[in-house]
Structure 1
């Protein structure tokens, strides 16, 4: 039974990697095909938008490996800044990388899709204004559709992120109890959770931003002869703020609620 379970996990892992690299390859082809189009093509936004979405999906599927790679490089910095707690946090997160990938997936998808769609729509609006023409009914309908799609993504990603974080943090009641029995204060436990949330946010935002920029840059270059839209930084900061707020509020709030249980009771209940 153990051998069969291990074989099934390996099979799922291979299928996941195959799907991830396939999404990255098709996504890269999509964004690169933008350079073969004209600025006036009606479907100009479609190729980079779908390309950015597929790149986000590819990064999300590879999130366990991406998280481990980032932890390997961030360990010296985290240890220098936070001491032994940072060292232990890195070790803990590396062991739980598969579980934490459930948090990274919605973070990457939300950041990549929202940033790409909103920035490309902003660039399109700037191009229409600079041409001196009024927005057509078709342009307004497309803009509305983009905002609806982004809204659905925001709601879905936030709900998925909050649910995953809540479940993952609540599940650690025994771990938190053991840490407190070993001498850790509630503040130190919350500090560890905060460091984990920071690492997850930085990882998700980084790879989501890479996916988003991969779609934005080709579109704005072809459509407006500039690299980024004027509102690009403001849009990105808003997206990052929403992602960080959802991550920190959920993880720290759940951890604080879990710590209300006495350490002895937490270990006994979860045992």
Structure 2
């Protein structure tokens, strides 16, 4: 199974690029905040007392808590696509007597190899980021000048171990479907999609949604002097709500696509109708493309609105140093979260579009031209972006309202209109070129060969 796993990775390296990047980010993030925590823990007592505000360990813990959760969200998403691009090969293995246990071992082997490949670069990036982050904090008086990032092997050992554990757990879930069904059904399932969202998945979505609501209630009931705690609870609540969106994604995406599809069909009768039918008919595929966009918009929108709301609520009561420090910390956290969300968005959209080569080839065989396919993809990209932005905006609105209630007593936050438009523009910039560029590559080549199942 080890040689087979390595063979699959050599034959289809593009399928593992997204997983490798996601694991690299997870290891780098764990290393970054682990080293910062170690720096705070090993700093002399005099250095700890020399600064005001939250300690280095508190900042590292608060940042790491959210960033690591987002990183793991990205890892799980990327692993799912790595397996989807191998679905046909795994199904064929099942038809030639490969057991479910052997298929799971193959997937675990691929995860282990990918993790080992990116561990050293992740360590290097995390250590460099820790030194840079600490230097930036020292320039702003948030850390004593004498504090240094220690050479501590514990964070560097924990980082790949935790990333690997999460990836292996995700692989067990992702490989469950292909390994449990019969060989003949596995081959059939490699080219089909279930039309309904399962009852267990919907129940899980409802449970997670309730959990997110409880976190937002906790954020809304924090006293005004506990702004940091309210902000962390609201941000964590937004992430939990985005998990609920991911679980209920096929249903929510189908409903929103149906509502938004009417104007697209009116503006582009041919391409718009086909795009709308594709998105509603393949709700799981649409959900896979929409969730990263919602993650990008939801997290960045929540952070941006919370920062503006906190600044307005503080007003003249806060010192300029404290205000500038808070703003910088939130901007740094926003940059980190946007980086993760952007990687997830690009990886997902490229993977979703690339796996449709056979579909595009069949459309060409029945008379569709390349320009017609590109118009269809453009309409799909517009709808995908709109659905993702709406879902993300709903999450950001709920989280920001809870935070605003805590800091100002009003559920109406201070809305940075220009910043919100920039977030929507950034989501569009990532979505449209990603889908169209990959689509151009996917429709090249002889249609007959691609329709027969060739994907290389």
Same fold (TM over 0.5): yes
Q: 2:212 aligns with which of 24, 27, 30?
A: 27
Asked if structure 1 preserves the Cα contact closer than 8 Å seen for 2:292 and 2:348, the reply is no
Asked if structure 2 preserves the Cα contact closer than 8 Å seen for 1:197 and 1:247, the reply is yes
* Paired residues for 1:1-271 under 5 Å: 1-2=181-182, 13-42=198-227, 43-131=229-317, 133-136=319-322, 142-224=326-408, 227-230=412-415, 232-268=416-452, 270=454
- Give, in whole Å, the separation in 2 of the partners of 1:104 and 1:173: 20
Deviation larger for 220-229 or 248-257? 220-229
Q: CA deviation at 1:141?
A: 5.4
- Root mean square deviation of aligned Cα: 2.8
The structure whose RCO (Cα within 8 Å, separation 6+) is larger is 1
| Structure 2 unaligned residues grouped into runs of 5+ | 1-180
- Give, in whole Å, the separation in 1 of the partners of 2:261 and 2:433: 24
Q: How many residue pairs were aligned?
A: 265
Give the greater-gyration-radius structure (CA): 2
Q: CA deviation at 1:143?
A: 4.1
- Give, in whole Å, the separation in 2 of the partners of 1:222 and 1:268: 59
Deviation larger for 192-201 or 91-100? 91-100
Residues 74 and 132 of structure 1: is their aligned pair in 2 closer, same or farther, counting only changes over 3 Å?
closer
- Give, in whole Å, the separation in 2 of the partners of 1:172 and 1:184: 15
Q: Deviations over 1:153-210 (max 9, x none)?
A: 2222222221222122122222222222322222111110011111111111101101
Q: CA deviation at 1:54?
A: 1.6
Q: Deviations over 1:193-230 (max 9, x none)?
A: 01111111111110110110111123224424662325
Asked if structure 2 preserves the Cα contact closer than 8 Å seen for 1:61 and 1:105, the reply is no
- Give, in whole Å, the separation in 1 of the partners of 2:453 and 2:232: 52
- Give, in whole Å, the separation in 1 of the partners of 2:204 and 2:249: 13
Runs of 4+ in 1 over 6 A off after TM superposition: 3-6
Asked if structure 2 preserves the Cα contact closer than 8 Å seen for 1:89 and 1:196, the reply is yes
What TM-score results when the alignment is normalised by the length of structure 2? 0.53
Q: CA deviation at 1:117?
A: 1.3
- Give, in whole Å, the separation in 2 of the partners of 1:163 and 1:244: 15
Residues 37 and 156 of structure 1: is their aligned pair in 2 closer, same or farther, counting only changes over 3 Å?
closer
